[in-house]
Homo-oligomer: A and B are copies of this chain.
């Protein structure tokens, strides 16, 4: 049975009590910095909740939970180098605070540490869990590659976009749930159900992220609104709008407009197509898919409520 307080305490404690070697400084301090980024700690929480929901022991899944969070923070670190992102969660990124070389090497070390932490699951599930983790990692890299490929293409379809965010974001949430359930002793069918929960939750999560970047409240969201539009980022909103208003939108995007004006004009096109509402409907449909994936898994009502409320809160989050 899920104990929410126990999960949040466990997540906080595995991260704060994790100790790295002192030297060499240049390798280990950036890892501590990257891991100490705050954030929702969604992936380790999902992993531990899935383990508890199937009746598993939380202690047996704690290292894997930290491993998944370590992997996630490694991907953010290397993605920030690749995307030349200067800030993350209100702080300079590692390659800005240190340099590119440090960001590359410390990231590599984080990936190895993640894999090493994952191995601390019980013997009986070791091979299964490692296979899930390694397959998922490859999918995440594929997602990042497609995301970068899309920058240079003007004919990305909505289906391609959904396939990309599934790889880049969703599979890791699915993997976190599946590793938790597997470590907790669930059978293959239930593990698949937990994977599907995380995967669909991830799609809802990422679409909400895209939506917030255009329709969020800058103060609550914590970053300037419209960044995706300014960067011509191929989000669900832009791809959908381009499909229906190709010429008009291409015209606006190719003009040399001032940022605020560009955002206003693009949003006007979005609004005329009711894209905000349509995106919201899509987000909710993925959140519902997530919840119904767990329908056939036996668990206490209060546990089901945990997963349902999480899906609801993530798909309606304002930050």
Chain A contact residues, CB within 8 Å of chain B: 24, 26-27, 78, 81-82, 100-101, 104-105, 107-109, 111-113, 115-116, 119, 123, 126-127, 130-131, 134, 137-138, 141-142, 144-146, 148-149
Contact = CB atoms under 8 A, between A and B. Distances in A.
A310 to B, nearest CB: 28
29 contacts: A24-B142, A24-B146, A24-B149, A26-B145, A26-B148, A26-B149, A27-B142, A27-B145, A78-B105, A78-B108, A81-B104, A82-B104, A82-B105, A104-B104, A105-B141, A109-B138, A109-B141, A111-B111, A111-B112, A112-B134, A112-B137, A112-B138, A112-B141, A113-B138, A115-B115, A115-B134, A116-B134, A116-B138, A126-B127
A148 to B, nearest CB: 7
Q: How many copies does the complex hold?
A: 2
A141 B104 CA distance: 10
A112 to B, nearest CB: 4
Contacts of A123: 127
A107 B119 CA distance: 22
A24 B145 contact: yes
A105 to B, nearest CB: 6
Contact of A144 (B78, B105, B134): B105
Contacts of A141: 27, 105, 108-109, 112
Q: Which 4 A-B pairs have the closest CB atoms?
A: A116-B134, A27-B145, A24-B145, A112-B137
Contacts of A127: 119, 123, 126
Given A141-B105, A148-B26, A119 B130 contact: yes
